[in-house]
Structures are given as C-alpha cells and as structure tokens.
A and B are shown apart, each in its own frame.
Chain A
Amino acid sequence: MQDTPELRARLKELIVERLALSMKPEELGDADRLMEDHGVDSVGLFWIVVGLDEELGVQIGEDEFDLDTFSSVDKLAGFLASRGE
C-alpha cells in the first residue's frame, strides 16, 4: 500500500462515513487533528480500526495501535504505507 492521493481519499471517506462527521470527505484536511479538531473519541478510533479492516483489508494489531498514528490522515496514511502491505 502506498501513500497516494487515492489512499488518502479512501481514508477520508472511511473516517467521515464511519464517524458520521458533518462534512464531506474532501473537506477533511490531511493534517487535521482528528481528536482535537473533530472530536473523535475512543469509540470513533475503534470504528476507524474496524473500517480499515472491513474496507481496506488492513488489520491493526493490538500492539500496533498508537494514538499518534491515528491522530491525522497524514499520520495514518504514512503508517499504512510503512507497513508495506
């Protein structure tokens, strides 16, 4: 998996849909802080993890979870690309 505009677009769509954010996916900034700026809480983070599994086929291990990784689309895309899947 490479960090591409397409991946980021999919991530934004996943995040906006799963968390029912009141915005269009393209309005979610790459560097937006998901927790501070958009109120994503522990339930929301869990739904992102589930969404990555169900929609991208990416399973995040318990040991892999890190708040920083899920803090923004930037960080998440970089993490997924670094996994080399």
Chain B
Amino acid sequence: MAGRCPESYAEATLHGAVIRGIVHAPAEPSGRPPVIMLSGWGGTRYGPNGILVEAARALAEDGRAVARFDFRGRGDSDGAVSEHDLACHIEDVPAMAEWVRHEVSDCPPVLLGICSGGEVAVGALFGGMDVESVCLWSAPVFAAESTAARRSRKRLGYVLDYGRKALRPETWSKLVSGQVRFDIVRRVLGGAGVHKKAEDEPTELDGAAVYSGRCGGVLLAYGTADPVAREAVAAYEGLFGRAGCGCTTHWVSGANHGFYGLHWKTEVIRVTREWLAGR
C-alpha cells in the first residue's frame, strides 16, 4: 500500500526519554477517534511484516488519524533495551495518548495492540485509561487457566523466560517495595509462575473489580494456528465479559501468531476496518 495520506514524524516524552513515532493524518478528517498502535515485544512500530504500517495507512484512508510509536527501549525511542519491560511499556501508553490528545484529537482513542502490545493495551485500560475501544491482535495472556500444554516443560520454560524478560530484577524489587502498580502488572501477566500466589488471591483476572476505565468494545483477532490463541481468547472474553465490556472475536483461518502471510494480513486489517467502521 503506497500511502496516500500525509505521514509525519512525531515525538512524545516521558521521564525525559523521547518516544518516537509516525502519525498518519486522515485523508479527510471524519471526527472519528484516533488509533494508537502498540507493537509486540521485540518489534518496532511497523510491526511484523509491516502489518501496522499497512493497517495505519488503511485506517487513515477511512478517516482516522493513526499514531504508531515505539515503546521506550524499542525501535527508535530512547532507553536501553534491557531496561524496559512490559510494565514500562504500559507506562508509555498514557504519554502517547497525551501527545495524540494534544496534537491530533481529544477523543478517547482506539488502542490497537499486536502480540504483547495487546497485553500493554489491556494494562493501560485497566490502569484507568479511557478508550473508545480496543483491538487485540494475537495478544497472549498469562493469567489463563493452565492447560496440559502449559504444564509441559516447553510451556513452563516459555512462561518463565517471558517472565524473566518481561520483568527484570529491578522491576521485581520495585514491585516488592510498592513502587510499581503491581495490580496492573499482575493482571497483565497473571499468576503463571512469575510470583508466589497468596492463598486468597483470585485464580483468574477479576475484570469487574479492577476495571476502572471506559471502553466501548473489544475486537479480538487471532489466527487458528496461533498456539496461544485458544487460551488467550477464552481469557479475554471472560475478562471483558466480567467487566461488562462487549467483545467480538474473529478467527483468521490458518493464520499463525504474527499473521505471517499476505492474505492473513489483509484479512485482519479488513476485519478491523469493518469493525471500527461499524462503531
């Protein structure tokens, strides 16, 4: 997609660090809420196989402004890679939103997250951010009920490895001393072995209890060949259901975790455009 709408470089700041990104102006301003795109764990603001760039250009043609920022420690943004984890990424979202509110539109935005970017979107939402809606593409979740696969050595290793990477030791010390919103982090990452559960802790995310923001609806888009899909969809449908937030689920047949195929990428973008257009 060549991109016929104006695109410009943008900078937000947080704690003195520059968060860098691109803003897509709409072909014709429609008054529709802007979209903030949140990339995956190891990725950049253009997403796997450039999916976020293509989606941003398509949504701009639909009349929406779209902002794609790199999290701190990722892409072109400031901050060391190893010093920024999911908790930091969740912190970045309000800064991105503030920039969008100031420079683009003061409507509550749509958060669109791919892979762990989806978890970040959920974290920001449950941290009290007002959004028009949320789109989660292939977002995993670690608070889901255990399955036989998760008990396997591979799955446990993956979860622990993810936990180690997602939360560095410094963050753990902050968690213990109460400097980090542990409730948000825990609800994003769940209790899958990354911390010791107290006897009275809930066994699943308590959406109704922790949800404090406003959200008009949620789109879940997953590939049927994504190993985390079934578990994640069940968890998020349950979570948003308990929070009283309407949820629509779309399965992309045969698609893998990153929608690494032209027609899968086309489908997930099309479905998202249609869902947003219908709101």
Residues of A within 8 A of B (CB): 35-39
Contact = CB atoms under 8 A, between A and B. Distances in A.
Contacts of A37: 152-154
B157 interface: yes
B158 interface: yes
A35 B157 CA distance: 13
Which range contains the number of B residues in contact with the other chain?
A: under 10
A35 B227 CA distance: 13
Given A35-B154, A36-B154, A37-B152, 7 more contacts: A36-B152, A37-B153, A37-B154, A38-B154, A39-B154, A39-B157, A39-B158
B-side binding surface: helix, strand, loop or mixed? Answer: helix
Nearest to A36: B154
Contacts of B152: 36-37
From B153, B154, B157, B158, residue with most partner A Cβ within 10 Å:
B154
Contacts of B157: 39
8 contacts: A35-B154, A36-B154, A37-B152, A37-B153, A38-B154, A39-B154, A39-B157, A39-B158
A31 B238 CA distance: 39
Interface in B121-172: 152-154, 157-158
A37 B158 CA distance: 11
